[in-house]
Structure 1
Amino acid sequence: MSETQTTMDLSDQIAAELPYLRRYARALTGSQSSGDQYAVATLETILQDRSIFSDPEMTIKVALFKCFHAIWASSGAPVPAEGESTLARAQQHLASLETNTREALLLATIEEFTIADIARIMDVTRDEVRHLINVARNDMQSAISGRILVIEDEPVIAADISSIVTELGHQVTGVGRTRASAVELGRETRPDLILADIQLADNSSGIDAVNDLLKEFGEVPVIFITAFPERLLTGERPEPAFLISKPYKEEQVKSAVSQAMFFASTETLKS
């Protein structure tokens, strides 16, 4: 196989993992644009040096995330100032957290890396990874509670999500099964967080429902749930900073809610 063909194969493999790197980066920074800036910086670094992908002990995805983490850690894991009021508060909160706790939790829950893989990504021991995840979970339990609007048309899923967030100490203000009902519930009680499915009962859009509410409320963190996260992570339009995949796990919902509540801004989507 020629060197050119090998390079093309590697590029294709990296491209296949990019949607998940974007998701992780956005969850760390709290916004699409900030997260994507770090993803772009990662790709630029890889163009200069691809040697990390020659390590036989790491998959392409682990090597990609390891490269990202090196850039993130070297920059002091900052939150770029977009919307000074909310992200400034997040910056203050970040300063009080133990280094790498949020990163370890997201890698384990949202991205579903193994402890061994996270240790490779962060260049720490497996015991250190377990410690970081435990600290992050304890931080979540002490987080400030808030009001959460659930937009989900499947009753069983809606009940499960409501139970999970209630156990975290949050109040569910209502469950909207359609765009119209979700907007009505949101207007009745302004939520601190919206947790929304994409496809709703009457074939209306959860994205449209969220956009309707954001036009009225302005800054409200949003988590989207979808069976096809890569469709919302193309980079071709405004996309969610926070999203989890179906079928989800309880720890994924808890982690996503914790990260979303950490910030207080989200960008409007266009359906």
Structure 2
Amino acid sequence: MAAVVAALPFGRRYARALTGSQASGDAIVADALRQGLPPLPGSLGLFAAITRLTPTDALDTTPGALSTAGRQLLLLTALEGLSVLDAAQVVGLDPAEAVAVLEAARAALRTITATDVLIIEDEPVIAMDLRMLVESCGHRVTGIAATEAQAVRLAAAHPTGLILADVNLGRGGDGINAVRRILQSVQVPVIFVTAYPERLLTAGEVEPAFIMSKPFDPIALAISTYQAVTAGRVPIA
């Protein structure tokens, strides 16, 4: 039970990333806990219950899109840090089949339609790393904002398909406030990046749908941007 409680914030993150919605993701987690978890060790039962309750129609089924299992395995291994063997148990695949599905999903990520990305990050080195990673995923960076005010100006000046925002901008303000201000005039999916993702998953207030941990993993960034663009909704009220 203690392992499930400790894993709950990350289970909520996984469910939200699958569905593209805070409300839908949290509802699936609640259903999983009510219905009971599969007999898997540690936190794997929670992830497995979430996986099995996620409706297929919540995922993109257009030609060329990632398969349902591909998305699930990428999120479990890249975003949540599970081994391939553990992720295979969660999804209900043979390990060899899971490896093949993962390889196909990673290859498919390279062919995804590009979008325009606004980066909100106050640390220059991290911002440059993010820019390189975003561009390596095939996307275009429309601008890098170091402050809340600059982010609002850049969003107004350049059409944006995705926002990648740090939560803490130091003296430059707050990334969540910057996003709230931007969303008053445009509707765009957002990924929040933070070294402490569990602090945004406390169930204490309206929270973002997409959260990625620092330091950044290229595959985690690729699948997170894909999910945000294809399944994303307005991330905060």
Number of the residue aligned with 1:68: 50
Deviation at 1:103, TM superposition (A): 0.4
Verify the 8 A CA contact 1:177 1:201 in the aligned structure 2.
Answer: no
Number of the residue aligned with 1:244: 212
Number of the residue aligned with 1:268: 236
Q: TM-score, normalised by structure 1?
A: 0.82
Structure 1: segments with no counterpart, 5+ residues: 1-9, 53-57, 80-89
Aligned residues: 237
Deviation at 1:134, TM superposition (A): 1.6
Number of the residue aligned with 2:160: 191
C-alpha distance in 2, partners of 1:144/1:69?
Answer: 26
Verify the 8 A CA contact 1:196 1:223 in the aligned structure 2.
Answer: yes
C-alpha distance in 2, partners of 1:163/1:231?
Answer: 27
Aligned pairs for 1:74-93 within 5 A? 76-79=55-58, 91-93=60-62
Is 1:45 equivalent to 2:13 in the alignment? no
C-alpha distance in 2, partners of 1:51/1:186?
Answer: 45
Aligned with 2:169 (options 200, 204, 210) = 200
What is the alpha-carbon root mean square deviation over aligned residues? 1.9
Give the AA of the match of 1:19. P
Identity %: 36
Give the AA of the match of 2:123. E
Aligned with 1:226 (options 183, 189, 194) = 194
C-alpha distance in 2, partners of 1:264/1:20?
Answer: 18
Aligned pairs for 1:108-119 within 5 A? 108-119=77-88
C-alpha distance in 1, partners of 2:23/2:38?
Answer: 28
C-alpha distance in 1, partners of 2:12/2:56?
Answer: 15
**Residues 158-188 of structure 1, C-alpha deviations (whole Å, 9 max, x = no match):** 0011011111221101110000111111111
Is 1:177 equivalent to 2:164 in the alignment? no
Moved over 4 A (4+): 94-97
**Larger mean Cα displacement after TM superposition, 124-133 or 221-230:** 124-133
Structure 2: segments with no counterpart, 5+ residues: none
